[in-house]
Structure 1
Amino acid sequence: MSNAENDVVALLGGAPVEGGRPDGAPGVDVLSAREVPLGGPRAMRVRRTLPQRQRTLIGAWCFVDHYGPHQVAVSGGMNMPPHPHTGLQTVSWLFSGELEHRDTLGTHALIRPGEMNLMTGGHGIAHSEVSTPDTAVLHGVQLWVALPEEHRRAARDFQHYVPEPVRVDGAEIRVFLGSLAGRTSPARTFTPLLGAEIVIEPHGVLTLAVEPAFEHGLLVDGGDIRMADTVLRPAELGYVPRGADTLTLVNEADAPARAVLIGGPPFEEEIVMWWNFVGRSHEDIVRAREGWEASSDRFGVIEDFPGGPLPAPALPNAVIAPRRNPPAR
């Protein structure tokens, strides 16, 4: 997935305003989504909760897009031509519909509900994602993970994993990255991470043992879920700082509630993030953009895609500054 937004946050620099309770007491920070077009002003709309001024990363998670349910006959679905990535891993996870993925490794794969596609674009990769003709309703999330300095030039890679659901306290959990509820994903990442879909029965109460060294984020897809003393509504992302060894989630609704739980230890490195590139400096971004526009071998070519690649937007007339999280609580 391509980030089509003209991102002002990256240009401003400086520390974002810390969210949460004004007295500084422990609690849940609520990150609200903003709606942006995916790939152009007439493209499918998505709800973006990360990054934003209030918070840049949760662990190494640096990007959270949430979309649908879209009636494809109305929205046109997803049609992302080949576009580049550097310095990150992409995580594709669907609730409904189907996407066709192609990349410059030669991968040709489908993304289906309950199946994770994990792509590594360290030094450089390109991919495309397009709704399949049989998809009537498209609904899911696209997540990005920043790679640490040691691995941010890692080789291209693609992994596919189908987690088995596990039942816990009236909830169904699918762990696609890391470990939770006695399940561990075999997918390879470059920092410790957690990623899981959680569906809680009506008025259910779910208590999960979690890693206290992790900070966590809960993206609510459907229903109202209370975490600690805060009710999170659909499309909101609740942030919990490190230190908690359990999370209790309460479904306040009369229907099942669904959410995606992410987490990881605080990512201490500053990143520069613009369009589809994650680097450490403005110069990193300039070089990546120049390479993409010049069709360099850094990104490769998708030979069998029926159409041309997505051109990079113009660089801003300013130095792209590093993003910073608020001080750890």
Structure 2
Amino acid sequence: MSNVEVGPTAPRCVAVDRGDSAPQVEVVSARDVPLGGPRAMTVRRTLPQRARTLIGAWCFVDHYGPDDVAHTGGMDVAPHPHIGLQTVSWLFSGEIEHRDSLGSHAFVRPGELNLMTSGYGISHSEVSTAATTILHGVQLWVALPEEHRHTGRDFRHHVPSPVRWEGAQIRVFLGTLAGDTSPVPTCTPLLGAELVLAPRATTTLPVNTGFEHGLLVDQGDIRLAGALLRPAELGYTGTGNATLTLTNETDAPARAVLLGGVPFEERIVMWWNFIGRGHEEIVEARQAWEQASDRFGSVDGYDGAPLPAPALPNATIAPRKNPPRH
């Protein structure tokens, strides 16, 4: 998915391990962002924002739906570029057609992982299919570390089997949780999983103490380490926790996405669809896209023009760090 904000912010992000092992939860609310088009589909953006810019290497979280495509027109994101990141697509309902300049032509369906690695440069399009009536899911980005950010393009598809764990059903699409491990390789230690909690159920999950975690609630009210999280809210916990305890406070199933990873120590610059290490690198990537450079390749099969890049800010991209966790 593209970051189609007209004036995208340009944070330089640093995740810091503060050594606090207390099970405190920082609640991060989302902001609404139109995805574009005459009947713009609205997504709820949780990362990045001033309150929290990184969770491990997870650097971008869009949450959308349930969206009636008869009213919104659904998703139609024209070919657009990426550098220095991986895109992670995960749906709860609906279907999205993916095409990229690697030559991949795949469909994103509920419970199935599509992971695309941009490396030095890739372009792709995303369009909800004609069979889709309700579109609902998350689009996530992972920042690539220095040693992997100029790697080649790649695309992976994986269908995780559901795992039962203390009143919850879990699908692990990246990393390890509840005794299940995804076979999809990652460039930094990561966790990504969908959790569905039975009504009024409580579950305690053993987690990596070196990871920081974010729980994005999709439906229901979920209590995480004493903090009540409502739909579209994300609960952040720092490193040092051996377990996370979740309670569904409602009489219906509750669903959330759990993200985790080791704190990402590298300083990165995020602007539009690019993740680099400095202002000039972003300028260079934007120019390459506007000039239809071979760096990003071309997307075959999409009916329409590619997305133009927004204007650069009239200043050098400024740094921004995660604030101290309360």
Q: Distance in 1 between matches of 2:38 and 2:311?
A: 16
2:10 corresponding residue in structure 1? 10
AA aligned opposite 2:204: T
Check if 1:140 corresponds to 2:137: yes
Deviation per residue, 1:212-263 (Å, 9 max, x gap): 0000000000000000110000000000000000000000001000000000
Deviation per residue, 1:167-193 (Å, 9 max, x gap): 111110000000000100011211000
Deviation per residue, 1:123-146 (Å, 9 max, x gap): 000000000001000000000000
1:222 corresponding residue in structure 2? 219
Quote how far apart the aligned CAs of 1:54 are. 1.3
1:264 corresponding residue in structure 2? 261
Check if 1:152 corresponds to 2:153: no
1:21 corresponding residue in structure 2? none
Quote how far apart the aligned CAs of 1:323 are. 3.3
Counterpart selection for 2:54 from 57, 82, 89: 57
SS at match of 1:46: strand
On the 8 A contact 1:280/1:322 being kept in 2, the answer is no
On the 8 A contact 2:8/2:271 being kept in 1, the answer is no
1:305 corresponding residue in structure 2? 302
2:316 corresponding residue in structure 1? 319
Quote how far apart the aligned CAs of 1:303 are. 2.5
On the 8 A contact 2:99/2:300 being kept in 1, the answer is no
Superposition map of 1:244-283 within 5 A: 244-283=241-280
1:201 corresponding residue in structure 2? 198
SS at match of 2:147: helix
Aligned length, in residue pairs: 322
Q: Distance in 2 between matches of 1:213 and 1:125?
A: 32
On the 8 A contact 1:46/1:65 being kept in 2, the answer is yes
Q: In 2 relative to 1, CA 302–111 (structure 1 residues): closer, same or farther, beyond 3 Å? A: same
Quote how far apart the aligned CAs of 1:43 are. 1.8
On the 8 A contact 1:2/1:39 being kept in 2, the answer is no
On the 8 A contact 2:23/2:225 being kept in 1, the answer is no
Q: Name the TM-score, length of structure 1 as normaliser.
A: 0.94
Quote how far apart the aligned CAs of 1:319 are. 1.1
On the 8 A contact 1:209/1:247 being kept in 2, the answer is yes
Check if 1:45 corresponds to 2:42: yes
On the 8 A contact 1:270/1:324 being kept in 2, the answer is no
1:100 corresponding residue in structure 2? 97
Counterpart selection for 1:85 from 79, 82, 85: 82
Check if 1:242 corresponds to 2:239: yes
AA aligned opposite 1:94: L
Q: Distance in 1 between matches of 2:280 and 2:43?
A: 29
On the 8 A contact 1:3/1:39 being kept in 2, the answer is no
On the 8 A contact 1:122/1:155 being kept in 2, the answer is yes
AA aligned opposite 2:2: S
Q: Distance in 2 between matches of 1:121 and 1:39?
A: 22
1:186 corresponding residue in structure 2? 183
SS at match of 1:149: coil
Superposition map of 1:24-43 within 5 A: 26-39=23-36, 42-43=39-40
Q: Distance in 2 between matches of 1:2 and 1:222?
A: 24
Q: Name the TM-score, length of structure 2 as normaliser.
A: 0.95
Q: Distance in 1 between matches of 2:251 and 2:186?
A: 37
Q: Distance in 1 between matches of 2:121 and 2:13?
A: 28
For structure 1, the residue ranges without an aligned partner over 5 or more in a row are 19-23
1:128 corresponding residue in structure 2? 125
Q: In 2 relative to 1, CA 171–83 (structure 1 residues): closer, same or farther, beyond 3 Å? A: same
Q: Distance in 1 between matches of 2:153 and 2:13?
A: 32
AA aligned opposite 1:238: G
* Identical positions, percent: 70
Check if 1:294 corresponds to 2:291: yes
Larger RCO, structure (CA 8 Å, separation 6 or more)? 2
Q: Distance in 2 between matches of 1:188 and 1:8?
A: 30
Q: Distance in 1 between matches of 2:40 and 2:242?
A: 41
